[in-house]
Amino acid sequence: MTRKYKIAFVSSWNPDNKQSWSGTLYSMKRALELHGQVDWINVRSKILERVAVRLVWIYGFFVKRLTGQDYVWMRNIPLSHVRGYLIRSQLKKKNYDFVFAPAASNEIAFLNTDIPIIFVSDATFLAFNGLYHVSASLDDLVAVEANLAEERALERADVISFPSQWAVDTAISDYGLPATKVHLNRFGSNFRKLEANSVIKNLDVCRLFFLGIDWLRKGGDIVVESCDVLISRGIAVELTICGCELPAEYEREYITHIPFLDKNNAEDELRLVELFHDAHFFFMPSQGECYGMVYAEASSAALPSIACDVGGVASVVTSRNGVLLPRESKPEDYAKVIEDLFTDQEQYNQLSKSARLFYEECLDWSIWSQDIIDAFEALNTKKQA
């Protein structure tokens, strides 16, 4: 009989809210519930937490007024101490097997407990900062505090899990972590309603789907310019852009623009399903990405992805479910890849089927949760040896 575990889910965000971390916490909690009881350790409702947050927020307000730089109060070290104390108090109420801490470096950095801790994130602070250059707009103290909390959390954790090889490698090199402590466990799709479309798609018009909030970072300009190249080569194109504002200079007759769709709304969710199923390619050549959950979602719909090899994308987009181009690639390069696949129906259909299989074998949350449990059990075995 498979053992069921008592799991303490440590997060400042509510994992039952599908909007927390774009639904990732919700998916993680549901996947872990396959292996036992999962309790959210909620410290946000505690008076001490509220007072501490308010004081730190006031401090951040004056930092912004005096320096013009942002102070991210969630990274505050004194607040981290408060959260560690409150979490420890709640952990004492039940005999938990392990603490699961997703994107919770601030919460566990100063957590004093004998319970094993599994820390999960999509990247460390140094890797994230190197990719997005966030510290340029932050108060200097924030970067120091954020990195200190990250160091403490990584040191404190017994098992560390990232969804990409890039995140694993940067964590080991930047923080001197032992390779045996760091695991690669790919995240799954947060869009449960997506399934493989068994209908063979007609390759008369090339239908492309772009979904993202940050137009430039997600490569929206590259997408439109690539479509312009395709049209100049005689390929009929229909492009759907969803989730962001479309700059006026990129408006085209072949574009359908949908500013926003909410997965938590039934009608919007159905519309998103249709967009994934109707397209021939999911095209998001993001210029900065720690992972890219949406590529997993595309694969679940048997939709090949066209992406840029940056950050951790290479772990979620491979030759099995799409095409990954170098960062220096031009719109002409993306257009060439799309044209070659689109004009070869047999090759396209094979890639579509392969994308769904890659999802089933590598990008399903049940696989991820089993990997987390296996890592915990291996840790237990090692401690008992």
Per-residue confidence (pLDDT) for residue 121, from 0 to 100? 97
Fold equal for 5-188+364-384 and 206-362: yes
206-362: CATH topology is Rossmann fold (3.40.50)
Low-confidence ranges of the chain (pLDDT < 70): 1, 46, 48, 59-60, 62-63, 69-74, 133-139, 193, 196-200, 385
> Helices 140-156 and 77-91: crossing angle, nearest 10°?
30
Q: How many Cα atoms occupy the beta-carbon half-sphere of 383 within 13 Å?
A: 11
CA angle 20, 315, 147 (to 5 degrees): 55
Distance CA 313, CA 138 (A): 26
For the CA atoms of 93, 97, 103, 109, the dihedral, rounded to the nearest 10 degrees, stands at 70
Assigned CATH topology for domain 5-188+364-384:
Rossmann fold (3.40.50)
Place of tokens 């990195």: 147
Cα-based distances in Å from 8 to 29, 97, 99, 186: 10, 8, 5, 21
- CB-based contact 334:310 (threshold 8 Å): no
Sign of the alpha-carbon dihedral angle for 163, 291, 44, 143:
positive
Residue 265 is encoded by which pair of tokens? Answer: 């709304």
Q: What is the DSSP letter of 200?
A: P
Tell me the HSE value of 310 on the side-chain side, using a 13 A CA sphere.
20
- What are the sequence ranges of the domains in the chain? 5-188+364-384, 206-362
**Range 220-225, long-range pairs (CB < 8 A, 24+ positions):** 220/244, 220/246, 220/250, 221/247, 221/250, 222/285, 222/331, 222/334, 223/283, 223/284, 223/285, 223/334, 224/250, 224/252, 224/255, 225/331
Residue with tokens 């575990």: 5
Give the pLDDT confidence score for residue 145 in this predicted structure.
86
User: Which DSSP letter does residue 70 get?
Assistant: B
pLDDT single digits (tens) 5-47: 999 999 989 999 887 888 899 999 999 999 999 999 988 776 7
Closest CA to 132 of 258, 311, 264: 311
